Chain A
Amino acid sequence: MSAFAESEAKETFVLNLGPQHPATHGVLRVKLTMDGEYIAEAEPVLGYIHRMHEKMGENRTWAQFLPNTGRMDYLHALAYNHGYVSVVERAAGIEVPERAEYLRVITAELNRVSSHLLWFGAFILDLGGFSPLLYAFDDREQILDLLESVTGSRLTYCYFRFGGVYNDIDDNFVPGTRAFIKRLRERMPMYHNLVTKNIILMKRLQEIGPISAEMCRKYGATGPVCRGSGINFDVRKHEPYSIYPEFDFDVPVYDQCDSMARYMVRMDEIEQSLRIIEQALDKLPDGPVMADKVPKILKPAKGDYYHAVETARGSFGVRVVSDGSNTPYRLKLRSPTFSNLSLFGEACQGMLLPDALALMGSLDLVIPEIDR
């Protein structure tokens, strides 16, 4: 090899992507070593909004930690509510009334749709298309209004309690939700015509950002990331919790392993969530929304307990260690995007920078959940 070629191969430079970059959706920094326009090495740098939720959990009672759960994944806060209340209910042996479980599933699925809609808008924005964001936010707004009427807040929900939910729904919720389902079903073909079938989008996503099934396993990827790589894994089906077994819904799986597959998984999941909500509204039973006799001061039995739920981004698990007192001895929060992002360094090697951004967008990152 000539001396010229050798020196050329070594000519790399470091490029900082973020922590203040619109494509990283929050304060994530990626240290890129670039070889011309190609990525030689990528190292995500985390911790810019690390708040140590796990330590906070050890310093407050079981119930006082509830508001924290809505502040990790702020786009699917209700699933985080669900994971935490479920593990504490498992530890303390609390039974939840049926109506409360139905309300949990309805609101959590509405929240999942709103999360996917926001991801859809922001993802297309990353790729340079501005207008789909406005359409998606229009639809998402309807969900926020519905959830606000039930939960009292628009983003960082804290609606679930040990033994049920905080509030029953009002008279407008059921007709409002049915009207929303009808509306979104009418809008989805427009999204597909406008965006999914767009040749520019196809060229930006198809065969870009391959993540193999084996890579998912080695890094512990879950959610739409693994379902876009042909792995049929959804916690709602795999280890059914709450009342999910009562509903008829499919788990969308695509095996192309590219960014387009992950896009399609999420688009299809919106319809599946609507199906679940529809069935739950049909079957919604009457009755109390809170269990009787849930002690004000909880003291779950000694031992450790685990519970996982399916959030919009994958499997969120909570491990609690109880020493029988009124505060958790240890609280571990296993967030899905932490694992999903950890494969980014390996997956984007040798890619063009704009393609790596498409890959990053298809992972659907929520930084407060990674940093916790």
Chain B
Amino acid sequence: MNRAAIKQKLAAIGAGSVSETEYARKGFALDVQVAPEQLVAAVSALDAEGFFIEAVTGVDWLGEQAALRKEAEAKAAAEAKAKAEAAAAAGEEAPPAEPVAEQGELPEDALEAVYDFNHYESLCRVTIRTRVPRSKPEVPTITQIYPGANWHERETHDFFGITFVGHPYLEPLLLPEDADYHPLLKDFRP
């Protein structure tokens, strides 16, 4: 089975980004980023190619946006400082400081659902990711394509509170049946 063909197929359904990764360094061959609406189409494409489902899980990116902004600010400050120093070295008057760009409210942090697929015959592990806002984490279910996703999605719902829309039985699997908390969220306090 051809990696390039899979890549093309996934790009055809409008996946956000499909990148080949270095297998020896990362442990997977294709890294695919899709919007939640494209997820079912992307998974169907893999199903048609004979992939099997390895796992579904999540990652909580709480604080990512703040960290990104801090990084950008630090970079801007360093650049301005370098400019001023260069000007001083040339004996020129320092240019007026650029007005600090008005920063709006931080964009919302995301929860990421991660799907791992693998192939029995050829070495091609595909990772599909989709991001949803933390306040409304809703992802369509893929249980109609892979019945094995049923338990994986229930587990991910337990741990992260991601709602898999259309799941036939989204009850706690590993947590107690009355659990109303999601322990792998970064702001979870027991």
Give chain A's interface residues, CB within 8 Å of chain B: 46-47, 50, 52, 54-55, 58, 87, 90, 216-221, 226, 231-233, 238-239, 303-308, 315, 317, 319, 321, 329-330, 332, 334, 338-339, 342-343, 346, 371-372
Contact = CB atoms under 8 A, between A and B. Distances in A.
Given A47-B175, A306-B26, A319-B116, 20 more contacts: A46-B173, A47-B172, A47-B174, A52-B183, A58-B184, A219-B147, A220-B146, A232-B120, A238-B120, A306-B27, A308-B27, A330-B59, A330-B60, A330-B184, A334-B55, A339-B148, A342-B148, A342-B151, A346-B147, A372-B174
Interface of B: 25-28, 50-55, 57, 59-60, 114, 116, 118, 120, 123, 125, 127, 146-148, 150-151, 159, 172-176, 183-184
Nearest to A303: B26
The 6 closest A-B pairs by CB, nearest first: A306-B27, A219-B148, A334-B55, A47-B174, A220-B53, A217-B52
B112 to A, nearest CB: 9
A315 B175 CA distance: 24
Contact of B174 (A50, A90, A221, A233): A50
Given A303-B26, A306-B116, A330-B59, A220 B54 contact: yes
Contact of A233 (B51, B55, B120, B172): B120
A354 B47 CA distance: 34
A342 B173 contact: no
Contacts of B176: 47
Given A220-B148, A239-B123, A306-B125, A317 B53 contact: no
A58 B160 CA distance: 14
A218 B27 contact: no
B151 A216 contact: no
Contact of B120 (A46, A226, A317, A319): A226
